[in-house]
């Protein structure tokens, strides 16, 4: 008899050092943020009261218009249509409503993407520093994480290093632009080279490699820059989006997974994704959130205000002597810790009621 009273899958997740750090940090963070006058820079959480237009959109969606208002819902057509129209403008290509799969935020969209195209034992490549949940999402799907460094000076993808990391077991490469935590927007030239590498490696190994483009910040770009979706460069892509960032309401779990119109023969994949949505545990967003999507898509985040906050914070930190760069998108800063031990430094800041995530948590 083995003495493990929980599954190997749960044990594998607990063995992930990066996940343990994220998990432990979140517990302490939730206590510390309750302390009055705390400055919370740790997560993409709201700092202000919710926009009344957001609350009105949810309120309007709550009022039943027919007897099946609160019946079982899957991918609601009104949400798919509004999301497809809006995404088509952002990504510059005509997404079809049938290619939008509504999810409980970006987490589920990524998890669904991994499970839709990869099987246990397959490898998934992502870049360091990563968003700290790629590893647990990969492990939970039975996949093997493979980590690749970025260019330390420009924060751009190291496409040559990605090419070297690809093996016959590679099934997915995840990219995140604009990037959390670096704020980097990957330029078209990088994305073209990445697409060429993925195509060439797929041909060489006789096995299609998929690109998962994680882009919850694709509407949060600064200085008039243009966002280029990686999906526009490689047809075998799955795009994960969350409304949590644009609407500054990550506790209201809604997002989607989208297939681009350029992907050939995607009927089977469409059916596969919907089957997974049901089998994962009816992983659709609640009815009210889906009804609200057409109105939520009309709300626009005040990017100018975020840009002024960015400029204020970057200037202040630089004046204090921190080494910090100016992010092109997202609402994160990635300054260098003045102490070699960044965890010790973040504890010192916590003592001053300033909450930040140590860079170690981003490997």
Contact residues toward ligand PMP (CB under 6 A) are 44, 105-107, 131, 176, 180, 214, 216, 242, 244, 250, 255
Greatest distance between any 2 Cα atoms in the chain? 62
Rounded least distance, CB 17 to ligand PMP, Å:
19
Closest to ligand PMP by CB, 318 or 360: 360
* Backbone angles phi and psi of 227, in degrees to 5: -85, 130
Rounded least distance, CB 3 to ligand PMP, Å:
35
Residues 13, 140 contacting (CB under 8 angstroms): yes
Closest to ligand PMP by CB, 112 or 197: 112
Rounded least distance, CB 217 to ligand PMP, Å:
7
Residues 284, 277 contacting (CB under 8 angstroms): yes
What is the DSSP annotation of 146-190? EEEE--TTT----HHHHHHH--TTEEEEEE-SS-TTT-PPPPHHH
Instruction: Give the up-direction half-sphere exposure of residue 44: CA atoms within 13 A in the CB hemisphere.
Output: 21
- The sign of the torsion formed by the CA atoms of 340, 344, 345, 346 equals positive
Rounded least distance, CB 329 to ligand PMP, Å:
11
Quick one: which of 176, 160, 244, 255 has its CA closest to 212? 176
DSSP 3-state assignment of 230? helix
Closest to ligand PMP by CB, 244 or 329: 244
Closest to ligand PMP by CB, 44 or 97: 44
Closest to ligand PMP by CB, 197 or 249: 249
* Backbone angles phi and psi of 354, in degrees to 5: -120, 115
Rounded least distance, CB 66 to ligand PMP, Å:
30
Name the percent of the chain in helix, strand, coil, to the closest 5.
45, 10, 45
* Backbone angles phi and psi of 247, in degrees to 5: -100, 0
Report the alpha-carbon distance of residue 311 to residue 306 in Å, rounded.
9
Closest to ligand PMP by CB, 106 or 183: 106
Closest to ligand PMP by CB, 201 or 277: 277
Radius of gyration of the chain (CA): 21
Residue nearest ligand PMP by beta-carbon distance: 105
Rounded least distance, CB 29 to ligand PMP, Å:
13
Rounded least distance, CB 242 to ligand PMP, Å:
3
């Amino acid at each position: 008899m083995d003495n493990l009273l929980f599954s190997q899958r749960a044990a594998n997740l607990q063995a992930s050092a990066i996940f343990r750090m994220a998990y432990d940090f979140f517990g302490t963070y939730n206590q510390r943020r309750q302390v009055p006058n705390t400055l919370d820079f740790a997560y993409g959480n709201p700092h202000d009261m919710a926009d009344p237009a957001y609350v009105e959109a949810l309120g309007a969606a709550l009022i039943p218009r027919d007897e099946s208002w609160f019946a079982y819902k899957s991918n609601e057509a009104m949400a798919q249509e509004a999301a497809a129209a809006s995404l088509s403008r952002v990504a510059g290509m005509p997404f079809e409503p049938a290619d939008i799969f509504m999810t409980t935020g970006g987490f589920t969209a990524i998890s669904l993407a991994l499970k839709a195209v990869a099987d246990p034992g397959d490898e998934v490549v992502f870049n360091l520093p990563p968003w700290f949940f790629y590893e647990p999402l990969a492990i939970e799907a039975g996949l093997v994480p493979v980590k690749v460094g970025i260019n330390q000076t420009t924060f751009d993808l190291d496409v040559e290093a990605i090419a070297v990391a690809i093996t016959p077991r590679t099934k997915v490469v995840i990219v995140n632009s604009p990037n959390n935590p670096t704020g980097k927007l990957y330029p078209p030239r990088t994305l073209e080279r990445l697409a060429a590498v993925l195509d060439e490696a797929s041909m060489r190994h006789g096995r299609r490699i998929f690109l998962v483009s994680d882009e919850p910040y694709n509407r949060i770009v600064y200085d008039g820059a243009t966002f280029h979706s990686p999906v526009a460069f490689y047809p075998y892509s799955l795009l994960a989006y969350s409304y949590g960032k644009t609407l500054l309401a990550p506790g209201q779990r809604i997002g989607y997974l989208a297939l681009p119109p350029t992907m050939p023969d995607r009927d089977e994949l469409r059916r596969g994704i919907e089957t997974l949505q049901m089998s994962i545990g009816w992983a659709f967003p609640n009815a009210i959130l889906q009804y609200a999507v057409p109105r939520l898509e009309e709300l626009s985040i005040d990017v100018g205000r975020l840009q002024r906050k960015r400029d204020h914070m970057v200037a202040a930190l630089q004046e204090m002597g921190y080494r910090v760069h100016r992010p092109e998108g997202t609402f994160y800063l990635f300054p260098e810790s003045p102490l070699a031990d960044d965890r010790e430094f973040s504890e010192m800041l916590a003592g001053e009621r300033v909450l930040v995530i140590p860079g170690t948590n981003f490997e």
